[in-house]
Structure 1
Amino acid sequence: MATSSSSCEIEQLQKGCYYEWMSVQATHIVDLKEVLTSHRSKDDHKLEEVVGKIVNDFQKYTEKRSELSRRSCSSYFAPSWNSSLENGLLWMGGCRPSSFIRVIYSLFGSQAETQLSQYLLKVDENVEENHGGSMSDLNATQLVKINELHMNVIEKEDKITKKSANLQEDVADMPIAIAAYATDLVDGDVLVEDALDKHEEGMAVLMTEADKLRFETLRKIVEVVTPVQAAEFLLAGKRLHISLHEWGRVREERRFGCARTDAAAATGGAGTEESKRSATC
């Protein structure tokens, strides 16, 4: 098991990895907004290029997380760099892959409702013309594939959750339970240390499995939808992530007076400013 000093160093690396990713996401948001604004339905090349880069960046991020989790995994399940709000929403060190699909359903419903309102109010049909192929235009074939993916992802999530539950139950097994009962302070017991190391290794394996599912879900969604729809989905997801981080920070600052400035410092303020804008979008 890592010493307290090396554990602190590893946690700092994990924290730096997270804030680097937040900064990258802020850049992604700017790129997505720009490419959606300038998009013309006859030319999807630029959209595909931006979407492809974002998918590749997410894969690199999950791979880096996996590498760091093998050195020490516990921090990812209650990150010190997150607010309590964010940690309360975590599943296996991140968001649920099925939540990606819930974002699609939300966008689909919201945009369909907006288009219906415009139709009833006889608003000029050209208002949304530059966003042809948006999420409200999901066809029956796409919806069937997304629904099938949703069910498949939920099934895989449940399997990972059950594995996690089994690992948690193992903590109450030998030799940990006996050692805890027999002594007031458990310190330096080789058997206990080995058992805890094994538990953490198991959690690292599960988190890597969860990250792979997150990436595969994202990749498959992008394959099903059009380039415009993929860009809209990615923009919504990234805004949600950054906004939740900011909302959680603001709530803790308001409730407890514990302002967190490390995120702004790590991202050069880009993520914070974008999240403030996102909160009003």
Structure 2
Amino acid sequence: MEEKGKNIPQAQESCYQGWMSLQSRRVPELKQALAQRRSHEGTADAAADDKKLRELTQNIIEDFKNYARKRADLSHRGSSNYYAPSWNTPLENMLIWLGGCRPSSFFRLVYALCGSQTEIRVTQFLRNIDGYDTSGCGGASLSDLTAEQLAKINVLHVKIIDEEEKMTKKVSSLQEDAADIPISTVAYAEEHVGEPNAAVDQALDKQEDAMSTLLAEADNLRVHTLSKIIETLTPLQAADFLVAAKKLHLSMHQWGAARDRRRRECIIDNVDDAGGKEEK
């Protein structure tokens, strides 16, 4: 259902902005809960902290599910807006897959964090040998993944990649339909293709409906993947992972915006330089 007083694109962008704002609020909540849990490591309060972390991570999964439901509702009136969102930066749109991130990217983040935190642990250990004090240095959690956890994550990773490939084939087929009858024949025969054409509108509406269904499937796969990864991790590991995932999403948007500003400034400078040379 569209938001009152807004057209479809405005409602879709408002939904996205609300999601980004919620993610920004969730990061400090997670950090605070993680800090409290790590300060109680080895004490009787650790179990209560784990319960709070588990509740917080489940709330975040529900946030994601609600966002996916809202997107599904709004996409029925304009799914094409989600495949190259105007509210995204060009950098984000360059990396987009079916209206969002690839579910398999969650696994790459787990592996990257696991490796980087292990490196930090080794560095801290070596410094401790040399007499450095490492107390309060952190409490890296994803470096503590067990062999059983890694095995489960790897099996899930393979399954999700297979699901991604199936969806990619579906969207490829739908994109090819754009050159099918009656769209191609009308484009060839008509002198003024901007005029209303019932057959073309019907074909495009059918294609957008199919793309809307595929978007919902992709969002469901993203939610499912995140939920399964969280189930495999301990409360501390899950919260650590979610902090990294949310910061990556927020940072990518900010980096994209910063790159756009620099490029605009560069273009303006080049125009000014060219104008100055002509005046001389």
**TM-score interval w.r.t. the shorter chain?**
0.7 to 0.9
List alignment gaps of at least 5 residues for structure 1.
Answer: 1-7, 259-281
Equivalent residue runs for 1:77-226 within 5 Å? 77-121=83-127, 122=129, 123-124=132-133, 126-128=135-137, 131=139, 134-186=141-193, 187-226=195-234
Query: Structure 2 stretches of 5 or more lacking a match?
Result: 1-5, 267-280
Query: Shift of residue 116 of structure 1?
Result: 1.1
Q: State the structure with more CA Rg.
A: 2
Taking the aligned partners of 2:64 and 2:133, their CA distance within structure 1 comes to: 38
Percent identity for Structure 1 against Structure 2 = 49
Which residue of 31, 34, 41 maps to 1:33?
31
- The 8 Å contact of residues 58 and 215 in structure 1, kept in 2 or not, is answered as yes
Q: Give the drift of 1:253.
A: 1.2
Q: Secondary structure at the match of 2:236?
A: helix
Matched, 1:254 2:252: no
Moved over 3 A (4+): 123-128
- Aligned match of 1:265: none
Offset of 1:256 from its aligned partner? 1.4
Cα deviation code 1:1-34 (max 9, x no counterpart): xxxxxxx810100000000000000010010111
Paired with 1:22 and 1:205, the residues of 2 have a C-alpha distance of 23
Query: Equivalent residues in 2 for 1:52-63 (5 A)?
Result: 52-63=58-69
Q: Distance in 1 between matches of 2:249 and 2:125?
A: 32
TM-score by length of 2: 0.86
TM (norm. structure 1) is 0.85
Residue correspondences, number? 250
Aligned mates of 2:8, 2:184 — CA distance in 1 = 28
Q: Name which of 12, 17, 21 aligns with 1:19.
A: 17
Q: Secondary structure at the match of 2:76?
A: helix
Distance 1:161 1:117 in 2: 42
Measured after TM superposition, the shift of residue 222 of structure 1 is 0.6
Shift of 1:101: 1.0
